[in-house]
A and B are shown apart, each in its own frame.
Chain A
Amino acid sequence: MQVTLKIFRYNPETDKKPHYETYTVEAEPTDRVLDLLEKVKGEQDGTLTFRRSCAHGVCGSDAMRINGVNRLACKVLVQDLGTNRITVEPLLGLPTIKDLVVDMEPFFEHYRSVKPYFINNDPPPKKERLQSPEERARFDDTTKCILCGACTTSCPSFWLDDQYVGPAAIVNAHRFIFDSRDQGAEERLKILADQFGVFRCHTIFNCTLACPREIQITRAIGEVRKAIATGRLD
Protein backbone atom coordinates (compact mmCIF):
# COMPACT_ATOMS: atom_id res chain seq x y z
CA MET A 1 0.00 0.00 0.00
CA GLN A 2 0.98 3.64 -0.49
CA VAL A 3 1.31 5.76 2.61
CA THR A 4 1.46 9.57 2.69
CA LEU A 5 3.70 10.84 5.46
CA LYS A 6 3.44 14.45 6.55
CA ILE A 7 6.47 15.23 8.68
CA PHE A 8 7.31 18.27 10.80
CA ARG A 9 10.63 19.67 9.59
CA TYR A 10 12.87 22.28 11.17
CA ASN A 11 16.56 22.85 10.50
CA PRO A 12 18.01 25.32 13.02
CA GLU A 13 20.85 26.25 10.65
CA THR A 14 18.75 27.31 7.66
CA ASP A 15 15.10 27.72 8.73
CA LYS A 16 13.48 30.66 10.51
CA LYS A 17 10.24 28.72 10.98
CA PRO A 18 9.28 25.05 10.94
CA HIS A 19 7.26 23.60 8.04
CA TYR A 20 5.71 20.30 6.99
CA GLU A 21 7.11 18.09 4.24
CA THR A 22 5.08 15.36 2.55
CA TYR A 23 6.56 12.03 1.40
CA THR A 24 4.94 9.05 -0.29
CA VAL A 25 6.31 5.62 0.62
CA GLU A 26 5.45 2.02 -0.19
CA ALA A 27 4.52 0.16 3.04
CA GLU A 28 3.15 -3.10 4.41
CA PRO A 29 0.24 -2.82 6.87
CA THR A 30 2.52 -4.50 9.43
CA ASP A 31 5.32 -1.93 9.03
CA ARG A 32 6.00 0.26 12.04
CA VAL A 33 5.91 4.03 11.68
CA LEU A 34 9.62 3.91 12.55
CA ASP A 35 10.24 1.75 9.44
CA LEU A 36 8.62 4.44 7.32
CA LEU A 37 10.79 7.16 8.84
CA GLU A 38 13.88 5.01 8.14
CA LYS A 39 12.67 4.56 4.57
CA VAL A 40 12.27 8.31 4.04
CA LYS A 41 15.70 8.96 5.55
CA GLY A 42 17.40 6.18 3.58
CA GLU A 43 15.73 6.61 0.20
CA GLN A 44 14.34 10.14 -0.11
CA ASP A 45 15.86 12.67 2.28
CA GLY A 46 18.92 11.88 4.34
CA THR A 47 18.58 15.09 6.34
CA LEU A 48 15.47 13.88 8.20
CA THR A 49 16.43 13.75 11.88
CA PHE A 50 14.85 11.64 14.62
CA ARG A 51 15.96 9.56 17.62
CA ARG A 52 15.76 5.82 17.84
CA SER A 53 17.89 3.12 19.30
CA CYS A 54 16.40 -0.26 20.18
CA ALA A 55 13.48 -0.16 17.71
CA HIS A 56 11.65 -2.58 20.04
CA GLY A 57 9.89 -0.41 22.61
CA VAL A 58 12.45 -0.67 25.41
CA CYS A 59 14.86 2.26 25.17
CA GLY A 60 12.27 5.04 25.11
CA SER A 61 14.02 7.26 22.56
CA ASP A 62 11.42 7.55 19.79
CA ALA A 63 8.37 9.03 21.48
CA MET A 64 6.71 11.50 19.09
CA ARG A 65 3.27 12.74 18.05
CA ILE A 66 1.77 10.35 15.51
CA ASN A 67 -1.58 11.46 14.10
CA GLY A 68 -1.98 13.91 16.96
CA VAL A 69 -1.19 11.69 19.91
CA ASN A 70 2.04 10.65 21.69
CA ARG A 71 3.31 7.21 20.68
CA LEU A 72 6.58 5.29 20.25
CA ALA A 73 7.24 5.18 16.49
CA CYS A 74 8.62 1.65 16.94
CA LYS A 75 5.41 0.38 18.57
CA VAL A 76 2.78 1.70 16.14
CA LEU A 77 1.97 -0.37 13.06
CA VAL A 78 0.56 1.29 9.95
CA GLN A 79 -2.56 -0.92 10.27
CA ASP A 80 -3.15 0.31 13.86
CA LEU A 81 -3.71 3.85 12.56
CA GLY A 82 -6.67 2.95 10.34
CA THR A 83 -5.58 5.40 7.62
CA ASN A 84 -2.79 5.72 5.07
CA ARG A 85 -2.22 9.39 5.83
CA ILE A 86 0.18 9.72 8.73
CA THR A 87 1.28 12.96 10.38
CA VAL A 88 4.46 12.87 12.48
CA GLU A 89 5.41 15.76 14.78
CA PRO A 90 7.78 16.28 17.72
CA LEU A 91 6.61 16.05 21.35
CA LEU A 92 4.86 19.17 22.69
CA GLY A 93 6.14 21.32 25.53
CA LEU A 94 9.88 20.69 25.08
CA PRO A 95 12.17 22.82 22.85
CA THR A 96 12.55 21.35 19.36
CA ILE A 97 16.23 21.02 18.40
CA LYS A 98 15.78 19.67 14.86
CA ASP A 99 12.89 17.97 13.01
CA LEU A 100 11.54 15.33 15.45
CA VAL A 101 14.29 15.72 18.05
CA VAL A 102 13.37 17.62 21.23
CA ASP A 103 15.57 18.71 24.12
CA MET A 104 14.80 16.17 26.87
CA GLU A 105 16.91 17.93 29.50
CA PRO A 106 14.00 19.75 31.26
CA PHE A 107 12.27 16.36 31.45
CA PHE A 108 15.29 14.61 33.02
CA GLU A 109 15.83 17.52 35.39
CA HIS A 110 12.36 16.86 36.86
CA TYR A 111 13.11 13.14 36.93
CA ARG A 112 16.27 13.71 38.98
CA SER A 113 14.47 16.11 41.34
CA VAL A 114 12.40 13.31 42.94
CA LYS A 115 15.47 11.22 43.94
CA PRO A 116 14.71 8.24 41.71
CA TYR A 117 17.12 5.87 43.44
CA PHE A 118 17.09 3.51 46.42
CA ILE A 119 17.51 5.25 49.77
CA ASN A 120 18.20 3.18 52.88
CA ASN A 121 20.72 4.19 55.52
CA ASP A 122 20.68 0.91 57.50
CA PRO A 123 23.84 -1.19 57.15
CA PRO A 124 23.33 -3.69 54.31
CA PRO A 125 22.23 -7.14 55.56
CA LYS A 126 24.38 -10.25 54.86
CA LYS A 127 22.01 -11.42 52.13
CA GLU A 128 19.31 -9.52 50.20
CA ARG A 129 16.77 -7.15 51.76
CA LEU A 130 13.68 -9.33 52.00
CA GLN A 131 10.28 -8.31 50.68
CA SER A 132 7.03 -10.29 50.43
CA PRO A 133 5.37 -10.84 47.04
CA GLU A 134 2.56 -8.51 48.17
CA GLU A 135 5.02 -5.77 49.11
CA ARG A 136 6.71 -6.17 45.72
CA ALA A 137 3.36 -6.03 43.92
CA ARG A 138 2.52 -2.70 45.58
CA PHE A 139 4.76 -0.75 43.17
CA ASP A 140 5.04 -3.22 40.29
CA ASP A 141 3.16 -1.03 37.80
CA THR A 142 5.51 1.94 38.15
CA THR A 143 8.68 -0.16 37.68
CA LYS A 144 7.79 -0.49 33.99
CA CYS A 145 8.67 3.10 32.99
CA ILE A 146 11.22 3.54 30.18
CA LEU A 147 11.45 7.37 30.49
CA CYS A 148 10.22 8.03 26.97
CA GLY A 149 8.51 11.28 28.01
CA ALA A 150 5.23 10.52 26.22
CA CYS A 151 3.22 11.16 29.40
CA THR A 152 4.76 14.42 30.59
CA THR A 153 4.59 15.95 27.10
CA SER A 154 0.91 14.96 26.70
CA CYS A 155 -0.11 16.82 29.86
CA PRO A 156 -1.88 20.20 29.49
CA SER A 157 -0.62 21.26 32.94
CA PHE A 158 2.96 20.72 31.69
CA TRP A 159 2.23 22.50 28.39
CA LEU A 160 1.10 25.52 30.39
CA ASP A 161 4.04 25.55 32.79
CA ASP A 162 7.16 23.38 32.54
CA GLN A 163 7.96 23.95 36.18
CA TYR A 164 5.34 21.24 36.86
CA VAL A 165 7.34 18.14 37.81
CA GLY A 166 5.18 16.06 35.43
CA PRO A 167 3.70 12.54 35.39
CA ALA A 168 6.94 10.66 34.56
CA ALA A 169 8.77 12.05 37.59
CA ILE A 170 5.80 11.20 39.83
CA VAL A 171 5.67 7.66 38.41
CA ASN A 172 9.34 7.18 39.25
CA ALA A 173 8.89 8.67 42.73
CA HIS A 174 5.93 6.30 43.27
CA ARG A 175 8.19 3.34 42.40
CA PHE A 176 10.35 4.09 45.48
CA ILE A 177 7.80 5.71 47.81
CA PHE A 178 5.77 2.49 47.94
CA ASP A 179 8.80 0.15 48.10
CA SER A 180 8.89 -1.38 51.62
CA ARG A 181 12.74 -1.53 51.54
CA ASP A 182 13.16 2.18 50.82
CA GLN A 183 13.37 4.91 53.50
CA GLY A 184 13.16 8.05 51.37
CA ALA A 185 9.37 8.31 51.12
CA GLU A 186 9.10 11.28 53.44
CA GLU A 187 11.68 13.35 51.52
CA ARG A 188 10.05 12.58 48.18
CA LEU A 189 6.53 13.31 49.41
CA LYS A 190 7.78 16.68 50.65
CA ILE A 191 9.23 17.47 47.21
CA LEU A 192 6.00 16.45 45.50
CA ALA A 193 3.79 18.44 47.89
CA ASP A 194 5.34 21.60 46.41
CA GLN A 195 3.15 23.97 44.38
CA PHE A 196 4.66 22.49 41.19
CA GLY A 197 4.19 18.93 42.42
CA VAL A 198 1.27 16.48 42.35
CA PHE A 199 -1.43 19.10 42.91
CA ARG A 200 -0.86 20.47 39.40
CA CYS A 201 -2.56 17.30 38.16
CA HIS A 202 -6.16 17.93 37.05
CA THR A 203 -7.04 14.26 36.44
CA ILE A 204 -7.06 14.80 32.65
CA PHE A 205 -5.79 11.25 31.80
CA ASN A 206 -3.75 12.24 28.70
CA CYS A 207 -0.68 10.68 30.37
CA THR A 208 -2.33 7.31 31.07
CA LEU A 209 -3.65 7.09 27.51
CA ALA A 210 -0.24 8.01 26.04
CA CYS A 211 1.97 5.62 28.03
CA PRO A 212 3.39 2.90 25.75
CA ARG A 213 3.93 0.68 28.82
CA GLU A 214 0.28 0.98 29.86
CA ILE A 215 1.21 2.25 33.31
CA GLN A 216 -1.83 3.50 35.27
CA ILE A 217 -0.18 6.89 35.67
CA THR A 218 -3.16 8.92 36.87
CA ARG A 219 -3.74 6.28 39.52
CA ALA A 220 -0.09 6.46 40.64
CA ILE A 221 -0.37 10.26 40.89
CA GLY A 222 -3.61 9.85 42.86
CA GLU A 223 -1.91 7.44 45.28
CA VAL A 224 0.98 9.83 45.87
CA ARG A 225 -1.46 12.70 46.34
CA LYS A 226 -3.43 10.66 48.84
CA ALA A 227 -0.25 9.72 50.73
CA ILE A 228 0.55 13.44 51.03
CA ALA A 229 -2.99 14.30 52.15
CA THR A 230 -3.32 11.50 54.74
CA GLY A 231 0.34 11.06 55.75
CA ARG A 232 -0.06 7.28 55.32
CA LEU A 233 1.43 4.87 52.81
CA ASP A 234 -1.23 2.11 52.76
Chain B
Amino acid sequence: MTLPRRVPLSAALRYRGGGPMWAWILHRISGLSMIIFVALHVLAGFGIQQLGSDWAIWYNTLYESLAFQLFIYFCVIFHAVNGLRIIILDTWPALIKFQREFIWLEWAIVLPVYALTAWIMIQNSLGG
Protein backbone atom coordinates (compact mmCIF):
# COMPACT_ATOMS: atom_id res chain seq x y z
CA MET B 1 0.00 0.00 0.00
CA THR B 2 1.04 3.58 -0.67
CA LEU B 3 2.45 5.41 2.34
CA PRO B 4 0.15 8.27 3.50
CA ARG B 5 1.22 11.82 2.66
CA ARG B 6 1.19 13.03 6.28
CA VAL B 7 4.34 14.98 7.19
CA PRO B 8 5.30 14.36 10.83
CA LEU B 9 6.73 17.33 12.76
CA SER B 10 10.07 15.52 13.07
CA ALA B 11 10.38 15.23 9.27
CA ALA B 12 9.30 18.85 8.80
CA LEU B 13 11.93 20.12 11.25
CA ARG B 14 14.63 18.03 9.56
CA TYR B 15 14.01 19.83 6.25
CA ARG B 16 16.97 22.17 5.72
CA GLY B 17 15.11 25.29 4.65
CA GLY B 18 17.63 27.58 6.34
CA GLY B 19 17.29 31.10 7.79
CA PRO B 20 13.91 32.11 6.37
CA MET B 21 12.28 28.83 7.44
CA TRP B 22 13.57 29.23 11.00
CA ALA B 23 12.37 32.84 11.03
CA TRP B 24 8.90 31.57 10.18
CA ILE B 25 8.99 28.87 12.88
CA LEU B 26 10.13 31.43 15.48
CA HIS B 27 7.43 33.83 14.28
CA ARG B 28 4.75 31.21 14.92
CA ILE B 29 6.21 30.17 18.30
CA SER B 30 6.55 33.79 19.43
CA GLY B 31 3.05 34.75 18.23
CA LEU B 32 1.43 31.80 20.01
CA SER B 33 3.55 32.34 23.15
CA MET B 34 2.41 35.96 23.36
CA ILE B 35 -1.27 35.06 22.93
CA ILE B 36 -1.12 32.38 25.62
CA PHE B 37 0.93 34.64 27.87
CA VAL B 38 -1.39 37.66 27.56
CA ALA B 39 -4.51 35.54 28.14
CA LEU B 40 -3.11 33.93 31.29
CA HIS B 41 -1.73 37.30 32.35
CA VAL B 42 -5.16 38.99 32.22
CA LEU B 43 -6.77 35.99 33.98
CA ALA B 44 -4.09 36.02 36.66
CA GLY B 45 -4.55 39.76 37.21
CA PHE B 46 -8.25 39.13 37.69
CA GLY B 47 -7.55 36.08 39.90
CA ILE B 48 -5.25 37.99 42.22
CA GLN B 49 -7.40 41.07 42.59
CA GLN B 50 -10.81 39.43 42.83
CA LEU B 51 -10.17 35.95 44.16
CA GLY B 52 -6.73 35.97 45.71
CA SER B 53 -6.23 32.50 44.24
CA ASP B 54 -2.99 30.54 44.77
CA TRP B 55 -2.82 29.66 41.11
CA ALA B 56 -2.78 33.35 40.09
CA ILE B 57 -0.07 34.14 42.62
CA TRP B 58 2.00 31.22 41.35
CA TYR B 59 1.60 32.36 37.74
CA ASN B 60 2.43 35.98 38.65
CA THR B 61 5.60 34.83 40.36
CA LEU B 62 6.47 32.82 37.25
CA TYR B 63 6.16 35.64 34.75
CA GLU B 64 7.80 38.17 36.98
CA SER B 65 10.89 35.94 37.10
CA LEU B 66 13.86 37.17 35.06
CA ALA B 67 14.11 34.10 32.80
CA PHE B 68 10.46 34.35 31.82
CA GLN B 69 10.70 38.08 31.16
CA LEU B 70 13.78 37.53 28.99
CA PHE B 71 11.84 34.88 27.01
CA ILE B 72 8.68 36.90 26.47
CA TYR B 73 10.67 40.02 25.64
CA PHE B 74 12.53 38.06 22.95
CA CYS B 75 9.15 36.96 21.56
CA VAL B 76 7.96 40.58 21.43
CA ILE B 77 11.03 42.08 19.76
CA PHE B 78 11.57 39.19 17.30
CA HIS B 79 7.90 38.96 16.33
CA ALA B 80 7.67 42.71 15.76
CA VAL B 81 10.80 43.04 13.58
CA ASN B 82 10.18 39.79 11.67
CA GLY B 83 6.55 40.83 11.18
CA LEU B 84 7.73 44.12 9.64
CA ARG B 85 10.05 42.19 7.29
CA ILE B 86 7.15 40.03 6.13
CA ILE B 87 4.84 43.02 5.70
CA ILE B 88 7.47 44.88 3.63
CA LEU B 89 8.19 41.86 1.38
CA ASP B 90 4.49 41.08 0.95
CA THR B 91 3.68 44.68 0.04
CA TRP B 92 6.55 45.21 -2.42
CA PRO B 93 7.32 41.84 -4.08
CA ALA B 94 10.07 43.50 -6.16
CA LEU B 95 12.13 43.79 -2.94
CA ILE B 96 12.15 39.99 -2.65
CA LYS B 97 15.35 39.88 -4.68
CA PHE B 98 17.00 41.26 -1.52
CA GLN B 99 15.41 38.66 0.77
CA ARG B 100 18.77 37.41 2.09
CA GLU B 101 19.82 40.95 2.97
CA PHE B 102 16.48 41.44 4.75
CA ILE B 103 17.17 38.41 6.97
CA TRP B 104 20.59 39.81 7.87
CA LEU B 105 19.17 43.28 8.50
CA GLU B 106 16.50 41.78 10.73
CA TRP B 107 19.03 40.04 12.99
CA ALA B 108 21.24 43.15 12.91
CA ILE B 109 18.31 45.02 14.50
CA VAL B 110 16.93 42.29 16.79
CA LEU B 111 20.18 41.10 18.39
CA PRO B 112 21.64 44.47 19.56
CA VAL B 113 18.26 45.80 20.73
CA TYR B 114 17.58 42.54 22.57
CA ALA B 115 21.09 42.37 24.06
CA LEU B 116 20.95 45.97 25.30
CA THR B 117 17.52 45.58 26.89
CA ALA B 118 18.37 42.18 28.36
CA TRP B 119 21.50 43.69 29.88
CA ILE B 120 19.45 46.48 31.50
CA MET B 121 16.87 43.95 32.74
CA ILE B 122 19.61 41.80 34.28
CA GLN B 123 21.30 44.81 35.90
CA ASN B 124 17.98 45.94 37.40
CA SER B 125 17.15 42.50 38.70
CA LEU B 126 20.58 42.12 40.31
CA GLY B 127 20.31 45.63 41.79
CA GLY B 128 16.98 44.58 43.35
Contact = CB atoms under 8 A, between A and B. Distances in A.
22 contacts: A12-B1, A67-B16, A69-B15, A69-B17, A92-B11, A93-B5, A95-B2, A95-B3, A106-B5, A154-B15, A159-B12, A162-B5, A203-B20, A204-B20, A205-B21, A206-B15, A208-B99, A209-B18, A221-B93, A222-B93, A225-B90, A225-B93
B92 to A, nearest CB: 8
B7 interface: yes
A142 interface: no
Contacts of A159: 7, 12
A154 B5 contact: no
B15 A94 contact: no
A10 B2 CA distance: 9
A112 interface: no
A interface secondary structure, majority: mixed
A206 B96 contact: no
B31 to A, nearest CB: 11
Interface of B: 1-5, 7, 11-12, 14-18, 20-21, 24, 86, 89-91, 93-94, 96-97, 99
A226 B93 contact: yes
A156 B24 contact: yes
Given A96-B2, A225-B93, 6 more contacts: A93-B7, A94-B5, A156-B12, A160-B7, A216-B96, A218-B93
Given A97-B2, A203-B90, A218-B96, A92 B20 contact: no
A12 B3 CA distance: 8
Contacts of A208: 99
Interface string A166-208: 0000000000000000000000000000000000001111101
Interface in A1-43: 10, 12, 18
B90 A222 contact: yes
B97 A216 contact: yes
List the 5 shortest-distance A-B pairs measured between CB atoms, nearest first: A222-B93, A205-B20, A159-B7, A68-B16, A96-B3
Nearest to B96: A219
A132 B24 CA distance: 39
Nearest to B15: A68
A103 interface: yes
A72 B96 CA distance: 24
Contact of B24 (A65, A103, A160, A204): A204
